[in-house]
Amino acid sequence: MKIIQDGNVTSAKGFLAAGVKAGIKASGNYDMALIYSETPAVAAGAFTRNAVRAAPVMLSELHVKSDNVQAIIVNSGNANACTGDEGYRNAENMCKLVAGRLDLAQDAVLVASTGIIGVQLPMEKINVGIGHVVDKLSQDGTIATKAIMTTDLTEKNIAVELEIQGKTVTIGGIAKGSGMIHPNMGTMLGFITTDIAIEKSLLQRIFLESVDESYNMVSVDGDVSTNDTAIILANGLAGNDVITSEKDEGYDAFVKALRFVNQTLAKKIAEDGEGATKLIETNVFGAKTVEDARKVAKSVIGSSLVKTAIFGGDANWGRILCAVGYSSADLIVNKIEIFVKGGDAKIQIVANGAGIAFDEALLAQIFSAKQVEIEIYLHNGEAVATAWGCDLSYDYVKINADYRT
Amino acid sequence: MKIIQDGNVTSAKGFLAAGVKAGIKASGNYDMALIYSETPAVAAGAFTRNAVRAAPVMLSELHVKSDNVQAIIVNSGNANACTGDEGYRNAENMCKLVAGRLDLAQDAVLVASTGIIGVQLPMEKINVGIGHVVDKLSQDGTIATKAIMTTDLTEKNIAVELEIQGKTVTIGGIAKGSGMIHPNMGTMLGFITTDIAIEKSLLQRIFLESVDESYNMVSVDGDVSTNDTAIILANGLAGNDVITSEKDEGYDAFVKALRFVNQTLAKKIAEDGEGATKLIETNVFGAKTVEDARKVAKSVIGSSLVKTAIFGGDANWGRILCAVGYSSADLIVNKIEIFVKGGDAKIQIVANGAGIAFDEALLAQIFSAKQVEIEIYLHNGEAVATAWGCDLSYDYVKINADYRT
């Protein structure tokens, strides 16, 4: 597997993209993106588990079932959430407008939105923007990458290529995150394109498993958005024999590469959490079940007290053990061991479920690194999990206390 | 029912208290409190649901079963949590030292601790402090109120008296909260004393129900402490006939008064959350079950995005509906109505599960009040719940980024 320099959703064969400034964002920044496959693709999607679902989520959940998906239209600046029937019709109209311009069936178009909640989309601007974004489709995906961002500070993209059955298969993706990122996909959007030939139901299973190991293991602030959406399109242009089962040649390599792509984007989301100054990775070992391992990893990564301690470089390890304790996982407390890593240093801070003597200065130095890793050994089974998050800083409060102005 | 001006744990007949500076806190502030009943009392307690339980929690859970509890020894500045066998022996020694000084059985003494996690108690200082605090026992409970505080900015105390069977019954309490306060009691300590005569198992049931409607409905930051403890002592000196069933005269009045005492302390905890600038109360109506009502109320009160929006006076109502959505309660989204109240103003912001037009300036004014109320009508049943929280400010981050220094 090879990483493609500056790769994104147009790296795989047959995919085009574009981004425009449609005037949805008050800032005047890029706010509309289109991803397009020149040939029909099989699609799979994972959507928010929030009971309050934005209109584009409800609609894309229907359209993703189509056997011939070819486009994803995305706007930032307005989430089209909590907008009732009018919002749903607007989401339908977005698909219809794109389908008309590209001569596709309406359900060949998926839609995603992110931004402010509870305000109707400015449909005249959307209409004009769709005309422009279709005209601008090209093999350059960089503007589309920018156009899906909201409070993100960095662009999030990755692409890899690998050989399957003697053919070059490419997987590329773009994502946006920042606030409201939490286990069960908090507003994060992720769009993956690949030219592998693969059977639809198999792709759906692989993709959901991969989402569970990547975007669903990221937490910025514990809130779960109304709009979270992750979609993959696979158009088959790599020319491999269609993969229909896990026994097929290339299945394992594809699963691994897809996981790498999703986890890379997930980490970029965590690293760029609102106000974040550092990336925190929590690795849990020896849990009774995978579910338990994930609960512990997410509980630690989601703790405001752990996050502020790491922001401040404060060696308050007890908060980590405390967060393990309230994860509701099955635990044998007096077996728990915890290590922390940062820069080149690694030290043990908890043994047998209790604090042990350690070099305070070294721990403070570890917590001051740009990337802090927490390793938790539960000694209660074989399951493992990893979660990613960020510290909680003054800037998180600043950004969110005054988001709309 | 009458509120006793400046009442606290010594308001009820036969209760004494004291507080001293034992040198546990680096600041030199009051850090040890003793509450004492001159006659044996029936006791009940509610303790943290964190799997990682501090030594004093484990020990008090045992001692609270005794039929003759007479004292509660409390220290602040050190939580005696994650301290292994040595920590447990130290908690036992605290009870033993108090029991020796007051000539009580060891299990007549309960113990609670709050403060830094993972550091052994300074037992020499504790030993000397216990000598002093026993000597200082008096009918003045004000120093005890101060001595249980950590990062609290305000003292939390209340007492009421009511008439039961022609006798005056008094209920008083003190509490500490501030950081780490969350549904399921995050470190909060609450100590209630009353002179009512009541049967032990009935008191335990009433007290747990009351805790579920008060301390367990408070959230500051979503973390659940290792040390949360709420204890009630009832010494019977009011002279009423022992209440043994809910049919007894005075039962309802006592339940109501106890709820008032616990909810008053819970609100004081929310109001004084670390960095809080205002109190937020969420009232949920029309839920399918009480559990659902509580889930929704806690989800909204716990949302970092709702909390920062209210801190900033930003009328971002969509975040409230979003937090209702991820509560995992049974919902009919298009029936949900939401109102907000602050100062003298009240307006509706959500109808039929979607935003409606409202006076933005008025909403911003409401969010700027010192006390903001959110009313959520689910129209899905009859159950109701109330939760209390606070906004999320820069100061929360400041306090917790640098807690130990």
User: CB–CB of B49 and A326 under 8 A?
Assistant: yes
Q: Mutation test of the interface with chain A: which of B397, B398, B402, choosing the one with the most A Cβ atoms within 10 A?
A: B397
User: What is the band of B405 on the pLDDT scale with cuts at 50, 70, 90?
Assistant: very low
SS3 B205: helix
Give the pLDDT score at A152: 83
Q: How many Å lie between the alpha carbon of A248 and the closest alpha carbon of chain B? A: 39
Give the pLDDT score at B236: 98
Q: Which two tokens stand for residue B230?
A: 């709420």
User: CB–CB of B400 and A308 under 8 A?
Assistant: yes
Q: Kindly report the backbone phi and psi dihedral angles of residue A203, in degrees, each rounded to the nearest multiple of 5, phi listed first.
A: -60, -45
Catalytic residue among A187, A264, A282, A386: A187
pLDDT digits (tens, 9 = 90+) for B125-159: 999 999 999 999 999 999 999 999 987 888 999 99
Range of lowest pLDDT (A360-374, B48-62, B209-223, B338-352):
B209-223
Rounded to whole angstroms, the Cα distance separating B342 from B349 reads: 13
pLDDT digits (tens, 9 = 90+) for A346-359: 999 899 988 888 88
B83 is in an annotated binding site: no
A274, closest residue in chain B (CA to CA): B305
Which positions of A make up the binding site for substrate?
150, 176, 187, 274, 400, 405
Res. B404: pLDDT tops 90:
no
User: What is the band of B181 on the pLDDT scale with cuts at 50, 70, 90?
Assistant: very low
B chain contacts of residue A50, beta-carbon cutoff 8 Å: 322, 325-326
For A324, the closest of B52, B117, B179 (CB atoms) is B52
For A322, the closest of B223, B327, B329 (CB atoms) is B223
Res. B317: pLDDT tops 90:
no
SS3 B156: strand
Chain B interface includes A94 (CB < 8 A): no
Q: How many CB atoms lie within 10 A of CB B62?
A: 10
Cα B256 to the center of its chain, rounded Å: 17
User: CB–CB of A318 and B401 under 8 A?
Assistant: no
Give the pLDDT score at B220: 58
User: Higher pLDDT residue, A363 or B240?
Assistant: B240
DSSP element (H, E) containing A381: none
Q: Side-chain half-sphere of A38: how many Cα atoms within 13 Å? A: 11
For B308, the closest of A308, A353, A401 (CB atoms) is A401
DSSP element (H, E) containing A137: none
DSSP state, residue A334: G
> What are the E-state strand segments in A251-370?
279-287, 337-342, 345-351, 354-355
A chain contacts of residue B396, beta-carbon cutoff 8 Å: 304, 308, 397
B308 is in an annotated binding site: no
Res. B403: pLDDT tops 60:
no
B chain contacts of residue A327, beta-carbon cutoff 8 Å: 51
SS3 B179: coil
User: What is the band of B186 on the pLDDT scale with cuts at 50, 70, 90?
Assistant: very low
pLDDT digits (tens, 9 = 90+) for B83-134: 888 999 999 999 999 999 999 999 999 999 998 888 899 999 999 999 999 9
Give the pLDDT score at B320: 87
Going by their DSSP bridges, the two strands B218-219 and B229-234 should be labelled as unpaired
Chain B residues 181-240 with CB within 8 Å of chain A: 184, 221-226
Please state the ipTM of this predicted complex.
0.70
Please say whether the beta carbons of B182 and B302 come within 8 A: yes
Range of lowest pLDDT (A150-159, B223-232, B390-399):
B390-399
Q: How many Å lie between the alpha carbon of B254 and the closest alpha carbon of chain A? A: 33
Please say whether the beta carbons of B221 and B183 come within 8 A: no
Q: Angle CA(A167)–CA(A173)–CA(A176) in degrees, nearest 5?
A: 175
User: CB–CB of A305 and B224 under 8 A?
Assistant: no
Residue type, A7: G
User: Higher pLDDT residue, B185 or A117?
Assistant: A117
Chain B residues 32-51 with CB within 8 Å of chain A: 49-51
B chain contacts of residue A350, beta-carbon cutoff 8 Å: 82, 118
Q: Kindly report the backbone phi and psi dihedral angles of residue A315, in degrees, each rounded to the nearest multiple of 5, phi listed first.
A: -80, 50
**Residue-range domains of chain A with CATH:** 2-271 (3.60.70.12), 279-401 (3.10.20.340)
Query: Residues in chain A with pLDDT < 70?
Result: 178-186, 220-224, 274, 314-316, 394-405
Give the pLDDT score at A179: 55
User: What is the band of B206 on the pLDDT scale with cuts at 50, 70, 90?
Assistant: very high
Which positions of A make up the binding site?
150, 176, 187, 274, 400, 405
Q: How many Å lie between the alpha carbon of A227 and the closest alpha carbon of chain B? A: 10
Give the pLDDT score at B182: 42
Please say whether the beta carbons of B80 and B56 come within 8 A: yes
Chain A residues 285-344 with CB within 8 Å of chain B: 302-305, 308-309, 311-312, 314-319, 321-329, 331, 333-334
Q: How many CB atoms lie within 10 A of CB A206?
A: 21
The strand order across the sheet containing B371-377 reads B218-219, B383-390, B279-287, B371-377, B337-342, B345-351, B354-355
Please say whether the beta carbons of B306 and B323 come within 8 A: yes
Catalytic residue among B48, B145, B187, B193: B187
SS3 string of A172-203? EEEEECCCCCCCCCCCCEEEEEECCCECHHHH
Is A187 annotated as catalytic?
yes
